[in-house]
A and B are shown apart, each in its own frame.
Chain A
């Protein structure tokens, strides 16, 4: 597997596409700015959302219990899974009871995290992703590159080709309107025939035992209301205490995500419809481990709006796939080491620590600080690549020794003036895509000492 820097290098080979990716996501970020500034209480809302989540995480056990009791009273069957494997097995056991050729699934980052599609496909179940972006990447045997805009790494030409291959649309047709219509017709057939529908969960309300699912396309509802069985999958951190808290989160979510006032559909599922079976699978998969860590607990506040993706100068120019994780971007980079430190050691370093992610986060997660905390943690555990830890040690030695520091500066200036090829070569990563600066004649220190 390529690490983030290697995968990014591949991504930026196509300069035109990189620029498009960068500018398009920045445009989404600008839309977020525009709508958020129309609300004078925007900052107070963020503060409120953050406090509600703080409170919820401090009382998570109590709220999970309340949710379970209320949901069961509502006629929902509640399941608990400690990890991805168990989650997948629970979902599969429900499906096998009901049969059916295909199941329809709307967007759920949790099922991506658990690799549910792969698991079910191996068991012979056809999983049909119904979100347009997710269907596109599913056809292409890829994974989403963005949690809100799954196919943002693709151009309409790519989608046209994919649909030509899988849906028989005319070759060369790349009109978004036409292609969307083709997907609508194609997926309607699955909606009308599916026995089982899987959805994610945006918020679960302890007070009422209901859960809320937000979409713009209407695919979660088309699936859930037509199928005999509805399975909703959620991480245990999706809990909120009261129904009125939804007002706060629904005001923040779509505005932060796409600059919309609200998603087209914000559906509140409290009870199964007559004759329907409704399941909810509550998944831990490392969340209680993260909950125990003071410096990383805040990451569990995330409502998956992806504002941090859209603003991140590194994400915009490296693409979601370079993060090799279901959740990419800044938030993904602080969630990933919790799953597997050594496999994700590169991700906390895939950042400039500029802090823009924390500034736009609707629930005020200190993302850039946590990136920095993870760097320290991973270095301490000796997981960083040898080159990085050696150069850090070297730098620490030089910076803590004034004489050597001055010597090093002097040598550096000499080299850059008289033998620039020693640094201007492909072994120096700073030289890639950059001109090295001209070396100054003297150091700041000597200029300061000698000034008249």
Chain B
């Protein structure tokens, strides 16, 4: 007998128990100020947040934040993943943000490569102010029916506290994260 049928056999042998799924969860209060909450969460998770009216303004601010580094947008890099190792600053588009935790949904339709948000040294994500939802529940509501082959919630730069609980930014992924709110 295969292990698969052994496992299913063991489960089917159990007494049937009827327990319903509790249904979708509704968060208690929807925040009034999703953009304000989102910015607050970004500061907690260690991301830099920039308000920009237009691309020109964003570019100016980015030159101040990353003065000596070359920046690439996802349209400019054609990649097999490995060559992104050499990219200092990568600018990508996020679909929407989540106010309660500063997470941004990224899906591989809008990434030059799945590894892009992880392997570059510094990451810049553009998110529209109109595209912020309050909680993860609303986020999944929004993603309903939209199944990316690969997608992620990204919140802040990569970090670790594995050495004596001291927080260090820049573990394996991006060393800094800048969010441009447009």
Contact = CB atoms under 8 A, between A and B. Distances in A.
Interface of A: 24, 27-28, 40-41, 44-45, 48, 51-52, 54-55, 58-61, 64-65, 74, 80-82, 86, 130-133, 136, 149-152, 154-156, 159, 176-177, 179-181, 184, 187-188, 191-192, 208, 210, 216-219, 221-222, 225-226, 236, 241-244, 246-248, 250-251, 258, 260-271, 273, 282, 284, 288-289, 291-292
Contacts of B162: 131-133, 136, 149-151, 180
Nearest to B44: A261
Interface in B129-156: 135-137, 139-141, 143-144, 147-156
B114 interface: yes
B102 interface: yes
Interface string B72-104: 000000000110010000000000001011110
B70 interface: no
A24 B162 CA distance: 12
B171 A61 contact: no
Among all A-B residue pairs, the 3 with the closest Cβ atoms: A218-B173, A133-B162, A217-B171
Contacts of B148: 268, 270
B152 A266 contact: yes
A80 B4 CA distance: 5
A217 B160 contact: yes
A226 B99 CA distance: 31
Nearest to B155: A262
A184 B172 contact: yes
Nearest to B138: A247
Contacts of A289: 10
Contacts of B4: 80
A65 B9 CA distance: 12
B163 to A, nearest CB: 4
Given A244-B144, A292-B14, A44 B28 contact: yes
B21 A268 contact: no
A27 B166 CA distance: 12
A187 B21 CA distance: 43
B150 A273 contact: yes
Given A273-B150, A284-B10, A262 B27 contact: no
Contact of B173 (A45, A136, A221): A221
B108 interface: yes
A251 B157 CA distance: 19
Contacts of B180: none
Contact of B160 (A60, A64, A216): A216
Interface in B1-45: 2-4, 6-8, 10-14, 17-22, 24-25, 27-29, 41, 44-45
A184 B156 CA distance: 18
A261 B147 contact: no
Nearest to B167: A176
A61 B21 contact: no
A55 B22 contact: yes
Contact of A243 (B44, B144, B165): B144
B137 A176 contact: no
B171 A216 contact: yes
Contact of A156 (B41, B147, B151, B164): B164
Which of B20, B113, B158, B172 has the most C-beta atoms of chain A within 10 angstroms of its own C-beta? Answer: B172
B115 interface: yes
A225 B144 contact: no
B126 to A, nearest CB: 19
A269 B107 CA distance: 11
B170 A181 contact: yes
